Amino acid sequence: MRRVVVTGLGLVTPLGADVETVWANILAGKSGAGPITKFDASDQKCRIACEVKPADHEYGFDPNKRVDHKVQRQVDPFIIYGIDAAGQAIEDAGLTDMDESTRLMAGCSIGSGIGGLPGIESESLVLANKGPARVSPHFVHGRLINLISGQVSIKYGLMGPNHAVVTACSTGAHSIGDAARMIKDGDADIMLAGGAEGTVCPIGIAGFAQARALSTNFNDEPEKASRPYDQARDGFVMGEGAGVVVLEEYEHAKARGAKIYAEVIGYGLSGDAYHVTAPHPEGSGAYRSMAMALKKAGLTPDDIDYINAHGTSTPLGDELELGAVRRLFGDAIGKVSMSSTKSAIGHLLGGAGAVESIFCILALRDQIVPPTLNLDNPSESCLGVDLVPHTAKKREVRAVLNNSFGFGGTNASLIMRKAD
């Protein structure tokens, strides 16, 4: 059987635009939240977000490093973040100079939950105010979700599968899971897999606020707004950025002496079949997704030491996920650590599952689990579960589970462990 390992990582997040900076900030308990600066949000119910910081910031993002000037002008932020994160991952994996036969078996599976919303918003205003003849000729391909995979394949000459998942907030996890299967099936030896999002724009914030999904009680204290499992939580904080990993067939990675971070051993998927935005009241979809991933991995709950929770800081979602984990884990619930890094970088929507999988991989590497910030007064249902409040925790980490759940009732779970 073909095994799938992770050999490269790339991150663009509100806490930094390279893997080590982001990880150090996460472990230090920093928050990427702040007042919205990308537009005047004074008339919005939610006026905060976890924005990717500008290049001159201490841990800002410089798009000029890896994205051509012309491409930057033509595409939405999510594509720029995705191209950069993919470039980081390729560089990290030592794959910047692949020969043609390698590139024929290298592909991309980098998706997004929403895609080019800022550009759709602004170009709709051009259409309304100036007419159709002023709409950009780059409008369509600068907004399409599969255009991270498209751009990255063109830039690096990757001729294998070119795929893009769109499953709302489960996108990043599904992207990695689907890509791992493509490698297992022999469609590719190398896959760039992950997700990106960039929807901090007026209609993005208004839309999620109107769906009653965003935190609106902490506009004056942005760093306190994302507080998964805390009694005062009132919705998620929108984040933006991208996470991309290089997945590689194990023998292929070994033959070229690649650094191997982790092995992808379990992937579970399910549908709630219940409601477009509300999670199933018994968390049955979440339960089945995790159970499938465990079964595929050939593990039992005792083997899992860390769960990076979906944990968005919404009143309903956090409880239901925790309930599903509790039922699945039984007595093993007392030994596992489970945290939500959305407390630090917000909810990256289609990027979340990929970014959080990278945190899981780094937890395996460094034998430390990242904290859940702002967990001052845990909900009663949290009793007896280590949610890693406030500070990172050194502990044994043998295998990790990442959960991602999305609108439409779509669930994905990934399990990884250190490769032998």
Catalytic residue ranges: 169
Smaller CB separation from other proteins, 125 or 133: 133
Q: Among 131, 137, 257, 384, which residue sits at the site for other proteins (rule: CB under 8 A)? A: 137
Q: How far is the C-alpha of 111 from the C-alpha of 148, rounded, in Å?
A: 7
CA-based nearest residue to 108, from 149, 159, 157: 149
Smaller CB separation from other proteins, 134 or 275: 134
CB of 152 to other proteins, least distance (A): 18
Residue 125 near other proteins by CB under 8 A = no
- Give start and end residues of each alpha helix (H) in 330-377: 342-345, 352-366
Smaller CB separation from other proteins, 68 or 185: 68
Q: Tell me the CA distances in angstroms from 345 to 31, 88, 310, 342, one per residue in order.
A: 6, 19, 13, 5
Neighbours of 56 (CB within 10 A): 7
DSSP assignment string, 60-97: ---GGGTS-HHHHHHS-HHHHHHHHHHHHHHHHTT-TT
Q: Residue 31 — φ and ψ, nearest 5°? A: -110, 140
Stretch that binds other proteins, among 33-41, 67-75, 382-390, 395-403 (CB under 8 A): 67-75
Q: Among 1, 56, 70, 273, which residue sits at the site for other proteins (rule: CB under 8 A)? A: 70
Residue 384 near other proteins by CB under 8 A = no
Residue 162 near other proteins by CB under 8 A = no
**Residue whose token pair is 């959960």:** 403
Residue 254 near other proteins by CB under 8 A = no
Stretch that binds other proteins, among 64-72, 164-172, 291-299, 314-322 (CB under 8 A): 64-72
Residue 134 near other proteins by CB under 8 A = yes
CB of 18 to other proteins, least distance (A): 24
The answer for residues whose C-beta is within 8 angstroms of residue 313's C-beta and 6 or more apart is 215, 225, 226, 227, 228, 230, 233, 234, 235, 236, 237, 340, 342, 343, 347
Residue 138 near other proteins by CB under 8 A = yes
Residue 133 near other proteins by CB under 8 A = yes
Q: Among 44, 136, 277, 381, which residue sits at the site for other proteins (rule: CB under 8 A)? A: 136
CB of 98 to other proteins, least distance (A): 24
| CB contact at 8 A, 36 and 49 | yes
Stretch that binds other proteins, among 116-124, 128-136, 197-205, 320-328 (CB under 8 A): 128-136
CB of 418 to other proteins, least distance (A): 43
Contact string (CB under 8 A) for other proteins, positions 255-274, x = contact? --------------------
Check residue 53 and report its DSSP letter.
P
Q: Tell me the CA distances in angstroms from 71 to 24, 84, 152, one per residue in order.
A: 31, 12, 11
Binding residues (CB under 8 A) for other proteins: these are 68-70, 73, 133-134, 136-138
